Structure 1
Amino acid sequence: MKTWFSLLLSVLLIAGCGTNTKENSQGSEQENKKNLEKVTVVLDWTPNTNHTGLYVAKEKGYFKEEGLDVNIIMPGEAGADQLVASGKSQFGVGYQEGVTQARIQGVPLVSIAAVIQHNTSGFASPADKNIITPKDFAGKTYGGWGSPAEKSVLDSLMKTENADVEKVKIINIGDTDFFTAVKKDIDFAWIYYGWTGVEAELRGEKINMVYLTDYSEKLDYYTPVLTTNEKMISENPDTVKAFVKAAAKGYEFAIENPDDAADILLKAAPDLDPELVKKSQEWLAPKYQDDAPRWGEQKLEVWENYASWMYENGLLEKELEAKKAFTNEFLPE
């Protein structure tokens, strides 16, 4: 009897220790979370492979390692640039064009890293429309989203072949899907090949691409970029540095491990098409850093070139102070 009682007591003591250990572990985890600095990063659009590095940094604990508890949110009606500029979100995903226009208007947005090193966008059309070069835009219908820059970009490309942009019918298709729009209302649209172009491949739909960078060096701008505002930089530089360091690690992981990175994105956004995400991630992996010495690095000449193009085309009221629009100082060495 005594032996049985001793054994029971031992079991209860061990179980009690296990419970305490579990409670202690949960308690310390909650304590650690309390000690993390909460910050928000707002996307420019719904989750896609431009954002994979952020989801990797969150899932693999890179943000946590840098002392951050990062919440990734959708832009909503306000838009990412406005939320970041106002300080409602500490960080965001934006574009060189948006940052440039904001700064001209006195809005203190700053680009802190280039997500993709070169502009991978261009004008796409179904192959049977026979739009091979910019001169073929004449007599066709372009579907856009209503930005004044669209007509200027079309004009710049068409001028290289002595074609007239006034011969292009431009309509606003808003958020209409490319594949739907080209079957109904339009002949061509502006897309990112890494997503919509890859989707066309998977659908077996042949498209022709007229890439901006094939016709103008000044249109090789950074799209997308990670952004913050001047107040964050001046008052919380350590937070900015921590965020960029973790994000860089996330994108570096995506470069080296596109398949695993795609799985992480799909876990965060399960409604996405797995085949598209996998294929897009594979296509984009070498494009993130490309020929730059490190992921995220930005060049002054790229900012100056695009701003001067915008100014020459009447898209800016004055010239940009390019040095203040971006910084490489928070990138890891």
Structure 2
Amino acid sequence: MGRFTRGKLSGRVIAALCGLSLVATSAACGASNDADSDTTPSISFMLDWTPNTNHVGVYAAQALGYYKDAGINVNVLPTAQAGAETSVENGVADVGFTTLSNVAAFNAQGASLRYVFDLTQKPVARWCALASRSDIRTPKDFDGKTFVSFGSAEQTAVIRQMIKSAGGKGDFQTATAGTNTFQTLSSGKGDFGGFYVTWENVESKLNGPALNCFVASDWGVPGNPDQLGFAVNSSWLKDAKNKKTLQTFITATIKGYDYALSHPDEAATLLVKQTKEANLDPKLAKSSMEEIVKGGYWTGEANKTSLTGKLNMAQGQSYLDFQYQAGTYKDSDNKNAQTAPQASSLATNAYVEH
């Protein structure tokens, strides 16, 4: 994943990683079906970051011909400088990889996004310091330290709650993260940061440095803070053809994710081959898939090989309420949202319950 944030990428990073225009369809940052005709329904899917195992279901469905068999053409787009959410809102992409909380934040400012597929059924974020830091043993020890951040109010609220739950005051400084949080921590410019257990934590185990990590839900943060999945523009769904294409896309994509859960090594290999310019480490990709299956992060159960794609509305609402109370969600005038976002309005399970 390369980072833990729910914000934008700089244009420089985008250019360096992709070296492509937004509509590129090379194997590195974008891919397209072989099927391509005026009569074949098409849908575009924008990544939230560089390709990684979070996206493996899409790449597996592409490589194994699931989209072609379903009769749709899928164009995978590299993430844009403005982010997947803005790109979906503006019609640059039909579907974007995002989080439920991001949808809430954008909609509070006037967007009309709809969350239509949820991948992660268990928290995947980890808040970590280097294991060599003997002065950090619980989140209370984050007090007075420097958080390596991407400037997210959402993250700030999570960290503050964790510190208070552990008996601290919730006071800390922030330092802007570079493209590699490991390097920022190792350089001494920060004391702790956010990682994904299915990617950076796997990388830590393979290559170091060792980390000492905490899960937000273990330290006073309610619900599931890490509901990652797909969103579309609500207005785009008003067209019956688009709704049908989305249904076909999600059904075939779930088939791709199920393949990845049943064949983790093979799926990791497909991901690496289809995203060559991303230079993914094959060992990291395979180890990541092994962690995903073993931990049941997509299914809720260890070693289960099929997912539902359903959003747990109750868990989502608990987390949205928490962030609302923390003042995370702002309206277009940068004032606190007047009411808490409602998971049942932001999201639907209709496309995974057919």
Distance in 2, Cα, partners of 1:30 & 1:320: 40
Aligned to 1:223: 227
Paired with 2:175 and 2:35, the residues of 1 have a C-alpha distance of 54
CA displacement 1:93-152 (0-9 Å, x = unmatched) = 001221111222231111111111112102111111132211011232211001112221
Q: Quick one: structure 1 residues 30 and 287, their matched pair in 2 at CA, closer, same or farther if it must change by over 3 Å?
A: closer
- Secondary structure class of the residue paired with 1:170: strand
Give the match for residue 105 of structure 1: 109
CA distance in 1, matches of 2:79, 2:270: 21
Does the 8 Å CA contact 1:212/1:219 hold for their aligned counterparts?
no
Mark the structure with the bigger radius of gyration: 1
- Residue of structure 1 in register with 2:255 after alignment: 249
* Equivalent position of 1:142 in the other structure: 147
Contact kept, 8 Å, 1:125 with 1:207, in 2: the verdict is: yes
CA distance in 1, matches of 2:233, 2:340: 20
Q: Does 1:297 align with 2:302?
A: no
Contact 1:132 1:209 in 2 (8 A): no
| Deviates further, 242-251 or 199-208 | 199-208
Q: How far apart are the structure 1 equivalents of 2:34 and 2:199?
A: 38
Aligned to 1:21: none
Task: Give the Cα separation in 2 of the matches to 1:256 and 1:156.
Answer: 37
Alpha-carbon distance change, 232 to 140 in structure 1, aligned in 2, over 3 angstroms = same
> How big is the shift at 1:33?
4.0
5+ long unaligned stretches in structure 2: 1-32, 330-336
In structure 1, what residue type is equivalent to 2:162? L
Report how far residue 34 of structure 1 moved. Answer: 4.2
Paired residues in the alignment total 303
d(CA) in 2 for partners of 1:219, 1:321: 14
1:204: Cα distance to partner? 4.0
Output the CA distance in 2 between the equivalents of 1:244 and 1:125: 37
Contact 1:99/1:110, CA 8 A, preserved across alignment: yes
C-alpha distance 330-203 of structure 1, shift in aligned 2 (>3 A): same
Greater Cα offset, 244-253 or 310-319: 310-319
Aligned with 1:189: secondary structure?
strand
Residue 179 of structure 2 aligns to which amino acid in structure 1?
Answer: T
TM-score, with structure 2 as normaliser? 0.81
Match of 1:180 among 163, 178, 183: 183
Q: In proportion to residue count, which structure has more helix?
A: 1
Tell me what 2:324 maps to: 311
1:190 equivalenced with 2:194 (yes/no): yes
Cα 1:67–1:31 change in 2 (3 A) is closer
Residue 215 of structure 1 and its aligned partner are, at CA, apart by 1.7
Q: 1:194 to 1:156 in 2, by over 3 A?
A: same
- 2:54 corresponds in structure 1 to 50
Q: Distance in 2 between matches of 1:121 and 1:221?
A: 8
Contact 2:46 2:97 in 1 (8 A): yes
- Where structure 1 has 5 or more consecutive residues not aligned to the other structure, the ranges are 1-28
Partner letter of residue 192 of structure 1?
Y
User: Percent identity over the alignment?
Assistant: 28
Q: Distance in 2 between matches of 1:179 and 1:242?
A: 39
Distance 1:31 1:240 in 2: 17
The aligned residue for residue 351 of structure 2 is 330
